[in-house]
Each structure stands twice: as structure tokens, then as C-alpha cells.
Chain A
Amino acid sequence: MRGVHYALGGRPIFSDLDVQVRRGRITAIMGPSGTGKTTLLKLITAQVPPDQGELRVFGQELATLGRREVYALRRRMGMLFQNGALLTDMDVFENVAFPVREHTDLPETLIRKLVLTKLQAVGLRGAAALMPAELSGGMARRVALARAIVMDPEVLMYDEPFVGLDPISLGVILRLIKHMNGALGITSIVVSHDVQELATIADDSYLISGGRVAASGTPAQLRASDSPAVRQFMTGGAEGPVPFHYPAPDYATQLLVAED
């Protein structure tokens, strides 16, 4: 991804963004809420085209691909959504089996084995018959992870995988991400603002702020950075280059002025 510009509704999200994800590694994309981390994943999965710049996935320039080629490319990717995004009208087993059924003609016995293997990997083989509504947030995310890896993708993207999880579920997800990367050799892109969690698993990390890469390197390098923006983000300071207050008119004036 080189020199990418992207604007949404006239508001620029990215200007001149450079990000490189290396094969077989865990790359963390960090940044304050609202910096367009999720939008970045949308760009990579070709859900939205960049306004400008070069965006290559598996060596192919996304802008030159037709709909069919984009779909072929997406078969090599997996994505874990914030809320799991399980299909609510099927049980856990069918959810995981869904991509297999759609893309292959495998016999039922093989699909069964494949799905049970993936569910076993996320520790939810026993939940195969449950409906998505019966799952807790952490379980839903693990089922979604099983679904994302069922087609053995080369790249796996995680959109805020740690949000709203209790410490145990969070530990489970962290271990799974590490395991998927190590055991299966899947290239992982983790988008999150949970700095501490990311630091324990990421090989490379990018800190995005104000539409561009504010810092990059290993988590240790980022922590050692003396840039005020990086320091504020890594330590969670309320004041710094990123202001606590959203731009607003003068406080006193606004309080004193009569409502009209």
C-alpha cells in the first residue's frame, strides 16, 4: 500500500498512507478510534476503492481487477469481524461449513470432518449445534474465526478482535491469533487500539494518526519512540498532540449565550 488517499463524504480519512504487510508475520495496525483502521481493511479487501495511490494484494494491483478477480482474491483471505457477523439463520456448524459449501463440491463426510477440525481448533466443537444467538460475544468471535480459517486463507484480518471481551476470552483470542500465525503460517493483520495486547503478539506494528503512518516498527521500537503523538498513544495520556476535546466553540461563551 503506497501513497494511498481516501476520503469519505468529503472528509479525508487517509492521505499518503504507506503500509507494508510481510508474508507470514503478524502486523498490528494501531491508532486512536476514528482514524479509519476498519476502513483500511475495507481497502485491502477491495470493498471500497482508494481515491489515489497504489494498493497491491498478493502482488496484484486492486484497481486493475474486475469483480470476478476480486472474488478470486478474497477466497485467499479471511476476516474476523468485530461482532463476528455470523449468519443468524444457521447453527454454528452450518456457519463454519458455509464457505466450504459455497466454494467446493466436497462430500458431506469430508465437510463434517473439516468443520469439526476447525471448531476443535477454537475449542468450540461442543457448541456445533448452538445457534449464534445462544453464544457469548467471545464464543461468537471464535466461531467466526473458525469460519474465517475453514478455507485455509493465506491472509487473515482481525477487526478489533479484543473489544468487549473478558480477560479469559481475551487471552483465548490472543493465543488463537498467535497459534493461527505460527502453526498455519497465516499472514495476520490485526487492527486494534489495545496496545498492551498487541505488543505481546505483533511482529511489526504501524501507528496511524491523522491519516498517515505516525510511526512503525516493532512494538518495542514504538514504545521507545520519543515522538509525543506515539508516546501519548502508547501510554494512554489524555493530553498531548491528540486533544481530549473535540473541536468546539469557546466553553464559557457557549454556556453564557442564551439559547435561540
Chain B
Amino acid sequence: MSNGDRDGLIVEGIRRLGSVVIFLARLLAQCAPALGRPWLLVHQVYNAGARSLIIIMLSGLFVGMVLGLQGYDLLHRFGSVEALGSAAALGLLKELAPVMTALLFAGRAGTALTSEIGLMRATDQLTAMEIMAVDPMRYVAAPRFLGGVIAMPLLTAIFSVVGLYGAQLIGVQLMGVDRGVFWSQMQDSVELRNVTEGVVKSLVFGTACSLIAVHEGYNAAPTAEGVALATTRTVVASSVLTLLLDYVLTATFL
């Protein structure tokens, strides 16, 4: 790679970052007016949240079951299967639920947001709104962004609950860990700040994933290829950013 190529890539990277930051500022400015139309917001929470419920619950169940199985196997070697409840709860609340939910959200709701807004751009619907003196940032982008930010913590909470049920299903019902020990150990070891960590993470991931999805859709090239590219970029960027932010947040909370 020549110096020129590298410089071009760096400049392009900074330009994109700048465009996302400016977009975020415009988006935040439109969030208050968007709250004045609760029905639009409810519709978007439904779209991003309720419609992702099945995939989130199914994945939560399986992740919990695997956690129960692996956790039991590992703890059994050290003769401390009683700790399975705490291990599953802490693993899910702090780490697995926020991250897995964000990754699934990017694939399920993020792609839908990007392609929907991208197609609205491609078919002149956004321009038509601008000509009708309706700011598409306020009418289209802000409610979808807020809907995602609100939906993510809710989905994460559901993921955690279903995951715990899955871990309990395997640990207690199948492997025979004592039910009382499982739940009381969990109660003893989980503190409020562990729950807070999960909630903060899900809020940050929700903001990042929704921002990327809406930004990519809004700025998609108005062609079939452009929308496809934007959708791909949404998944890739959301996933990578989620994992990166997860490390940063984990380090902050320790």
C-alpha cells in the first residue's frame, strides 16, 4: 500500500467519523420533537423491539442452556457446582445478554432499519418530505433511533431472564444441582452494580447500533447496490463496535 493510499484511507475514515458525529448531533436535536409524537415512537419500539422478541428469547434460551451445561462441567471438576447459579447470573447479566442482544439486534432490527430508510431515500420519499417542509430527520430518523435505544435494554432484560431459565433447566432439572442452592447462591453474589453494568451496556449498545443503522440508511446511495452495501455495513460496523465498546465498558466497570 502506497503512502497516498494510506493517507486516503485515513482521511476517509476521519470523514466518515465526522459525518456520523454531525448526524448524531442533528438526530439528538430532533429527539425532543420526536417525543411529541408518541404513536410514531411506539410504532418503532414495536418494530425494533416486539418483532425481535422471538429471536431474542430463542437465542437467550439456548445461550442459557449452553451456559448451564458448560458451567456445570467446569464447576464439577472443582467440586463447586453450587456456584452454578452465580456463574450463570453474572455471566448473563454483565456480558452475554447485552452483547448477544446487540449482535442479534444488529442482524434483525438494524438491517431492517437501514434497508427501510435506504429504500425511502432511493424512491425519493425522503426528498418528498423535505419538499413538504417535513424534516425527515424528525419524522423518519429520530423515532427509529429512539425506538432502538428504548428497545435494546428491554430486549436485554428479557434475554437475561430467559437465559437464566435455560441455565436452571439444564443445571437444576437435568444435572441435579440443588434448586435452593442454585437460587440462593445467585441472590448472594449478584449485586446491584452488576445489574447496572448490564443496563448501561445495553443502553450504550442500543445507541451505537441504532445510530449506525439509521445513519447508514439515511446516507445510502439511492440504488439497489447502495442499499445492499449500506445494510452490510450496518451489520459489520454494529458488531465490531459492540464488541469494542464491550471491552471498554467492562474495563471501566472493573
Contacts and interface: CB of A to CB of B under 8 A. Distances in A.
A35 to B, nearest CB: 20
Contact of A74 (B123, B125, B131, B139): B131
A32 interface: no
B156 to A, nearest CB: 28
A79 B133 contact: no
Interface in B126-165: 127-135, 139
A79 B128 CA distance: 8
A47 B128 CA distance: 11
B124 interface: yes
B135 A81 contact: no
A101 B39 CA distance: 13
Nearest to B43: A89
A47 B133 contact: no
B124 A81 contact: yes
Interface residues of A, number: 23
A71 B135 contact: yes
A59 to B, nearest CB: 19
Contact of A81 (B120, B127, B133, B134): B127
Contact of B123 (A47, A75, A88, A99): A88
B131 A45 contact: yes
B131 A102 contact: no
Contacts of B120: 87-88
Contact of B127 (A47, A77, A99, A103): A47
Contacts of A77: 131
A9 to B, nearest CB: 14
Contacts of B133: 71-72, 74-75, 99, 102-103
Interface string A71-91: 110110111011101111000
Interface string A97-139: 0110011000000000000000000000000000000000000
Interface of B: 120, 123-125, 127-135, 139
Given A87-B129, A151-B132, 10 more contacts: A45-B131, A74-B131, A81-B124, A81-B127, A83-B124, A85-B128, A88-B125, A98-B132, A99-B134, A147-B132
25 contacts: A45-B131, A47-B130, A72-B133, A74-B130, A74-B133, A77-B131, A79-B128, A81-B127, A83-B123, A85-B123, A85-B124, A85-B125, A85-B128, A87-B125, A87-B128, A87-B129, A98-B132, A98-B134, A99-B132, A99-B133, A99-B134, A102-B132, A102-B133, A103-B133, A103-B134
